[in-house]
Amino acid sequence: MNLLILHIAVPSLTALAIMFVSSQRQVRTIAATGMSIQLIQSLVLLYQFLQERMSGNNAEVLFTQSFVWYPSLGINFDIGVDGIAVAMIMLTSIVIFTGVFASWEVNNLYKEFFISLIVLATGVYGFFVSLDLFVMFLFFELAVIPMYLLIGIWGSGPKEYAAMKLTLMLMGGSALLVVGILGVYFTANIETFNIIELSKQAFPIEMQRIFFPLLFIGFGVIGALFPFHTWSPDGHSSAPTAVSMLHAGVLMKLGGYGCLKVAIFLLPEAANEMSWIFLILTSISVLYGALATIVQTDLKYINAYSSVSHCGLVLFGLLMLNKTASNGAVLQMISHGLMTALFFALIGMLYSRTHTRIITQMGGLMKVLPFLSVCYVIGGLASLGLPGLSGFVAEMTIFVGAFQHNDIFHRVATIIAVSSIVVTAVYILRVVGMLLMGPVRSEEYNNFPKAKWFEKVATVSLIIGILVIGLAPLWLSTMIWDSLGPIVDKLVLK
Amino acid sequence: MIESVPLNQVLIVTTLMFFIGVYGFLTRKNLITMLISVELMLNAVNLNFVFFDRYLFPGKLEGHFFSLFIIAIAAAEAAVAIAIFINLYRNIRSINVEDVNEMKN
Amino acid sequence: MGYQYTIWILILPIVAFVINGLGSGKLPGKISGWIATVAIGISAFLSYKTAFQFFGSGSHEKIIAVKTTWLRFNEGLQIDMGILLDPISIMMLVVITTVSLMVFVYSQGYMKGEKGYDRYFAFLSLFSFSMLGLVVATNLFQTYMFWELVGVSSYLLIGFYYDKPAAVAASKKAFIVTRFADLGFLIGILIISFYTGTFDFDILTRPEAMTLPVTATFLGLSTMTWALLLVFMGGAGKSAMFPLHIWLPDAMEGPTPVSALIHAATMVVAGVYLVARLFPTYSVLAPDALEVVAFIGAFTTLFAAVIACTQFDIKRILAFSTMSQIGYMMLALGVSGYGGEEGLGYTASLFHLFTHAFFKALLFLGAGSIIHAVHTNDIREMGGLRKYQPITHILFLIACLAIAGIPPFAGFFSKDEILAAAFATHPIYYIIGTLVAGLTAFYMFRLYFIVFWGKSTSYTHTPHESPVIMTLPMMILGIGSVVAGLIPFGSYISSDGVPLKGHIDWVVATISVVLALVGILIAFKFYKTESAKPEAISKSFGAFYRSALSKFYFDELYIAITKGVIFRFVSKPLAWFDRNVIDAFMNLIAAITNWVSSQIKEFQSGQLQKYAFIFISGVIIILLSFLYANQ
Amino acid sequence: MSLQELLLMRHEWLLIAAVVALLLLELNFSEAKKTNVIPAAAIIFTIVTLIGFLPSENGRAFGGMFITDPIRTLMKNILNLGVLIVFLQSGSWLRTQNNFNRVTEFYLLIISSVIGVSYMISAGHLLMFYLGLELLTIPIAAAASYEQYKSKSAEAGIKLILSSAFSSAILLFGISMLYGTTGTLYFSDIKLAGELLTVLSFVFLFSGLAFKISIVPFHLWTADVYEGSPTSITSYLSVVSKGAAIFVLLIFFASVFGPLQEVWQQVVYGTAIFTMTIGNLFAIRQQNLKRFLAFSSIAQAGFILLGMVGGTPLGMATVIYFILIYVFSNLAAFGVVVAVEQVSGKINITDYNGLYNTNPRLSLTMMLALFSLAGIPPLAGFFGKFFLFTAAAESGFYTLLFIAVLNAVISLYYYLLVVKAMFINKSDAPIGYFQSDYSSRIAMSACVLGILTTGFYSPIFEFIKKLCLESF
């Protein structure tokens, strides 16, 4: 059986299985088992993919399979992966795996919680494996909608408002996608939604000019494209731990992935022509997000705004429209996914002890919670781009790629983006300084339970991911590089 | 006799009649009167059918039959309507259309 | 015999880091200290072996001992991880491993019983690894990576006492300031790589590659000049050159051995090393940039020396002296030419780097020994320590003599070369340099006399000499401070790889030595015994003294810019803007929808006749629109 | 008239037979056992529905006044399915009526109306169409005021009968114009040219049908009538009556008004925008679930117009497909409303606060139904709506499509409000746990099954598409 189908089937079956059990113990055991299988399976996929590539299989996408679905509309259940998708699947598997452990102690409606969470993950997997625009879109929305319940029911703070805002804004984005996808479909007029087939079509530039912005903004909304990012701070701060992890870690990456694999891939000429508009927006969002982070006091807001900055960098890299920067953007997606998931996991764990997320009300956690604090520092260092951790690899690739443009506009944009690394350092160190260092804030802190085993599993898995990419990025970068060929080569102006 | 009245004048009459019905429907407050206004509109249509048959398609009877059906259905409609009016009257002791606004917005 | 074994110089410290880091809190007793020390000890041994092998071979050609691709950006650009062996990198290897080893040993005594002992050695090992990686880097990007790692180790070590707010603030400041400088470095790298298509030092510094067809200019200077200036900005940040120096004095919040290793001997000279590494490029492609280097170096050396005369914190005085000495090195690089006699400055700079590492590390370790004994940093609370700490006293004196440039101590030789090089090219810099030589002698002996002579303070705990494990490394460094100057440095290290015959310029030497002696004499007069003269003199300087005491208000300036401008006038408004304009706009859309919704509710009036009216109006409007359209 | 011709009217005969059978049955039940009519009716109508699905003859009867072809049979079957679900859901409500004698009335009225629906769909002649339309409306008006002691019910009846009389008068006026210009009432004979009078007649006729579909600005009766009528009637109105009118409009566009495509395209285009937007804007503010669903169904009608606007076979197919899904989704929602109203008498959204804690299955059903209406994957509504959008895009109406997708977002907002009430909001006095009767559970399960599987099982759409390609 095709491994990719299993990637959709296993989470679906896990969710289904959870429906039939009742105790919390059983629920989380099933969830953990299912997601562990998923993780192993993703590793196998990665191995097989690299194996195939090594044996000289240079097909654009591997492990393809096609099931006719709606023949009259040209909708097929086409699946297949390239290096980018494999990387994203790997990321998803790690994040959902750790997400399950991070929500080990969800007590309220745990069954529904895990089902929603896993349905969300199913949507994400489906999105990454499908090659058919319709199916992709289906999974995209499938991934978005459980967020409403997850935030609304299990969230905190102004959760209903946040959940509604998030859902509506993301759905607003997907509304644009509908128009864009249908526009592409009918402009190509070859009766298929298959991306690979569509990419071979030459779209008239007038049509591209209409549909490129729709697709790019549509995906950009979920990728926190300025100024459509405001769902993110509220949404993340209200969401329960695992949901923030999954959302910031994986779901936001759907945006970048979609921008690359749909908007830019299918409509290259318009991308060339219009990239400057979005470059301005993303350059703004990179620096703007970072600067706005400096003054936040809520840990989740800090992470949300820094995500705006980091995800801005993803789109920034993509919009540079060359292989190096795009490669960096994909790396940044993975890197940001891992580290932001780590952050949110840690924030959740700290919150469960301190019952506050306001950094000015905490301090000295390093003394009482050394394990979690060290993890936080590692996450922070990854976030500010320390070599040896994943953030560095990604950011540098983006910057080097961005610098390949030898004109003043791109230069200025690049320098604006690059300067975010200083601001990032400022806010990361500010948080680390206020939260972890300094004298222990309160006597009660000494009674905090130490990190529990499931918390360790969650954080350590993510840190391993960060380290692996940070220390040995070449295989990953090459894998992505090879897959970028068909996408970026089309961009070269004729 | 009939030929001396051109069709368009006849149509003007029926159209006027129709819109008088409309006007009545829009302005009369009594539900029964409103129903009568609808009958007026229907009769205008009936006349239309008959005149078209007579003037334009003398060999056909479709228009005539249509009129007959309309009359029959109007009767049925009126029966049901009046039954409901009675029911309403039992409930709110009024058949003024302006009182029929419990549900709005 | 190859050089593959040099990889172990790097691997051992990182292994020590991993073991100590993972085992943090679980390793028994002092084992972590020994693991780290043994690791760095073997590294040191291997470094010496490399040095003997390399210099013994007589060839000064660059050797790539190890090289592997780490990350590929595109067909041309890639980051390699590798080990580049050439005279300067081997010299640095020797310096770093030696000073590291001494500091590691010393720390076992100094840090005894401290909480976080294993964490300390983990971080130290990480630092050593990063620093070694930095110097052997084969390309700019590898340098940058280890550059960052060094910065982070420094951050971690300055903030070692993380429950002390001052330490936290200092570590943050150090990291952010250097990070800001690194921004320049990074952009510089990006520009260079764009125009040359490579990060490789091998290509970048090859003389035949130096006619790169870079014609682009920006604001009157060639792009390459800008790039190299930006690279220098990175170096200036790390080396605490004016105006990016503000982090270094604060960095003294870290444990003293850390200051000795990182903030005196090794990391802070990374900037010098970076410029030296790219020296051929600077020299040929961007002489203008070198002018800037020289100017900044000269200014800093004077600036820091003046401040050092006024400070009272023993470690801060040493910190400013470090800045001043690094300023010398920069100055020497800046005035140097490429090749032959003109390259004297280059040799002098690295020579000074080499000797400075010994005596400055010794000074810091001595300071640590003192602080260990008296539990204060303030020299006004010290005095008469020579009785209690005889060994420290002697060694400290040796170091002071060395830094003051008194023959035959190490500092004399290197400083003399610098001054000679400056004299040969830029007389004004020479004058500054000579002046600073006097100042240096003055403030070092001010320190020396106050601490070891001066009034005899009554201590709550009687100070006592440090244990052998601390004094032994100091002694070794002391020996280094005495003999390091005798090495014929020029025959090993020169700008173009051709041995440079070192000789002493007696005129220059005499003047500087005389000035130094004058400085010592004044210090002796003022501080040997307690006297009111210093106060009177400082009074006579008035505002100048006060501003020097306050380090010329640079901290305040930076605070004003960061807290005042960026925090208050950029970030806060931006955060507000995000919540109240952009987000509000999204909410406004929702609000408008709701408002419209409530405005139109009257259409659904419940009145049947109004419904019918709208019905018929609808019909008529549609009809009219067709009538209109058909006109 | 041969037997062959009579057999073409199989649906109608079956329905008439059902009416007769119910009447006979009722006669045989004693006063106390009148409620037995409820299961009997369910069984009878199940049989009717099932037989409807058997392969049938195609052709014309009565000289072309009556047409049966696969597509019309399909339409009827879809609507029959809806009626069956309505019947299954209405059992418990009927049992609470104080006069069991009137139980049969309910079925008779509805089945009569369905006969009207069938004739209207099969009509090949405007007279037949008119008869069907009136037969559809008049019994339902009576049924709307079924609850004789509720003034709201009477008000709903009045509003329905009077406004539908008014609208059918206007429609008739249009028909008369049509007759005047073409001289025939047979669909197949009518040959329209784009003269003003035909445009006039089209607009009148359109408004009459638009009234049934509740297209803005002919929709104003909808909310009031939906609110006042017994909920089972409301669900019938919102699904079957509306669906029938849409089908007929489809047929009209394809046959009679085919030559006027340019004209009706503009009308549909404009009204679609208004229908979606106004429906949504009103739905946002509703507290009463029935009114809420009324406005939501108006908005849905707007989306349905998207499928029609192109006038292509694909568009027609997507409309029919959407109606099928709409039947499941809307009836699932109404099923929950009926069940809850029956037990607690509560009908406001706030009353549903905390429903998930007490009645998880019901809440899940409601959620699936609403999500399906909102077009959330992987529920059927997603496919339905996406295909409607496809149809609009096929004809290049991207602006319209854009407005539609924005409206879809607004609609998601208010559907989520209900979901929020059930799942997120806390309540001090939630509706207690209860179990609805078998038939309505069967009905809801059927709906949920339909919601979950219709989209995935593509042959359904492919079949409809094929039929549409053959027929239009």
C203 inside 8 A of chain D by CB: no
A285 in a structural domain: yes
Is the pLDDT reported for residue B40 higher than 50? yes
CA distance C623 to chain D (A): 7
Highest mean pLDDT: which of A42-46, C195-199, C209-213, C561-565?
A42-46
A411 in a structural domain: yes
Cα separation, A298 vs A236, whole angstroms: 11
Query: For chains B and C, what is the number of CB pairs under 8 angstroms?
Result: 30
Is the pLDDT reported for residue D445 higher than 90? yes
Q: Where is pLDDT greater, at C206 or A63? A: A63
Residues C182, C237 contacting (CB under 8 angstroms): yes
Domains identified in chain A, total number:
1
CA distance C342 to chain A (A): 36
Chain A CB contacts of D390 below 8 Å:
73, 182, 185
Preferred mutation among C10, C115, C179 to probe A, highest tally of A CBs within 10 A: C179
Which value does ipTM take for this structure? 0.91
- As a whole number of Å, the CA-based R_g of chain C is 30
| D408 band by pLDDT with thresholds 50, 70 and 90 | very high
CA distance B88 to chain D (A): 5
Q: What is the pLDDT of residue A494?
A: 40
Is the pLDDT reported for residue B2 higher than 80? no
Q: What is the pLDDT of residue C215?
A: 60
Largest CA distance in chain B: 54
Q: Which helix (H) or strand (E) holds D448?
A: helix D438-453
Q: What is the pLDDT of residue D237?
A: 92
Domain limits for position A462: 3-488
CA-nearest of C302, C184, C328, C316 to C244 is: C184
Global pTM reads 0.91
Percent over 70 (pLDDT), chain D = 99
Long-range contacts from C27-36, C-beta under 8 angstroms, 24+ separation: C27/C118, C30/C108, C30/C112, C30/C117, C32/C117, C32/C118, C32/C121, C32/C122, C33/C104, C33/C107, C33/C108, C33/C111, C33/C117, C33/C118, C33/C121, C34/C108, C35/C121, C36/C104, C36/C121, C36/C122, C36/C124, C36/C125
Find the chain A residues whose C-beta atoms sit closer than 8 A to any C-beta of D: 69-73, 75, 134, 137-139, 141-142, 145, 148-149, 152-153, 159-160, 163-164, 167-168, 171-172, 175-176, 178-179, 182-183, 185-186, 210
D378 inside 8 A of chain A by CB: yes
Q: What is the pLDDT of residue C457?
A: 67
For residue A432, the 8-state DSSP code is I
Chain D CB contacts of C593 below 8 Å:
281, 284, 410
Cα separation, D318 vs D384, whole angstroms: 7
**Cα nearest neighbour of B14 on chain D:** D173
Cross-chain residue pair B44–D173, CB shorter than 8 Å: yes
Cross-chain residue pair C606–B103, CB shorter than 8 Å: yes
A494 in a structural domain: no
Which residues, at least 6 apart from C565, have a Cβ–Cβ distance to it below 8 Å? none
Cross-chain residue pair C145–A387, CB shorter than 8 Å: yes
Cα-based distances in Å from C575 to A31, A169, A297, A430: 39, 20, 11, 16
C586 inside 8 A of chain D by CB: no
Name the token pair of D162: 């009077």
Condensed to tens digits (0 to 9), the pLDDT of residues C47-82 reads 988 888 888 887 778 888 888 888 888 887 888 888
The three state secondary structure string of A339-401 is HHHHHHHHHHHHHHHHCCCEHHHCCCHHHHCHHHHHHHHHHHHHHCCCCCCHHHHHHHHHHHH
Preferred mutation among B8, B15, B38, B39 to probe D, highest tally of D CBs within 10 A: B38
Q: What is the pLDDT of residue C261?
A: 85
Q: Delineate the domains of chain B, giving CATH numbers in brackets.
A: 2-104 (1.10.287.3510)
Mean pLDDT value across chain B: 88
Condensed to tens digits (0 to 9), the pLDDT of residues C326-371 reads 888 888 888 887 777 777 888 888 888 888 888 888 888 888 888 8
A493 in a structural domain: no
CA-nearest of A168, A268, A178, A250 to A215 is: A178
Chain D CB contacts of A137 below 8 Å:
386
D377 inside 8 A of chain A by CB: yes
CB atoms within 10 A of CB B102: 17
Is the pLDDT reported for residue C235 higher than 80? yes
Condensed to tens digits (0 to 9), the pLDDT of residues D191-224 reads 877 778 888 888 999 999 999 999 988 999 999 9
Q: What is the pLDDT of residue D20?
A: 93
Chain C CB contacts of A396 below 8 Å:
71, 79, 141
For residue C63, the 8-state DSSP code is E
Cross-chain residue pair A175–D406, CB shorter than 8 Å: yes
Considering only CB atoms, A164 lies closest to which of D396, D416, D461, namely D416
Cross-chain residue pair C612–B26, CB shorter than 8 Å: yes
| Angle formed at CA C201 by CA C195 and CA C202, multiple of 5 degrees | 105
Cα-based distances in Å from A78 to A51, A131, A180, C7, D227: 22, 5, 20, 49, 46
Amino acid residing at D456: F
CA-nearest of D343, D338, D221 to D290 is: D338
CA distance A191 to chain C (A): 36
Cα separation, C382 vs C395, whole angstroms: 17
CA distance D324 to chain C (A): 29
What is residue C69's three-state secondary structure? strand
Q: What is the pLDDT of residue C1?
A: 57
Cα separation, A381 vs A379, whole angstroms: 5
Chain D CB contacts of A149 below 8 Å:
419, 423-424
CA C258 to chain centroid, in Å, comes to 13
Is the pLDDT reported for residue D1 higher than 70? no
**Segments of chain A with pLDDT less than 70:** 1, 492-494
CA distance A394 to chain D (A): 34
What is the rounded (10 degree) CA torsion for C261, C267, C268, C274? 150
Left (φ > 0), alpha (ψ -120 to 50) or beta: where does C384 sit?
left
D327 inside 8 A of chain A by CB: no
Q: What is the pLDDT of residue C216?
A: 64
Is the pLDDT reported for residue C107 higher than 50? yes
Q: What is the pLDDT of residue C577?
A: 85
Cα separation, D86 vs D102, whole angstroms: 17
CB atoms within 10 A of CB C280: 22
Condensed to tens digits (0 to 9), the pLDDT of residues C371-411 reads 888 888 887 777 777 778 888 888 888 888 888 888 778 88
**Cα nearest neighbour of C604 on chain B:** B105
Residues C345, C334 contacting (CB under 8 angstroms): yes
Q: What is the pLDDT of residue B45?
A: 93
Pairing of strands A62-70, A75-81: antiparallel
Query: For chains A and C, what is the number of CB pairs under 8 angstroms?
Result: 137
What is residue C311's three-state secondary structure? coil
Q: Name all chains with 3 or more CB-CB pairs below 8 Å to chain A.
A: C, D
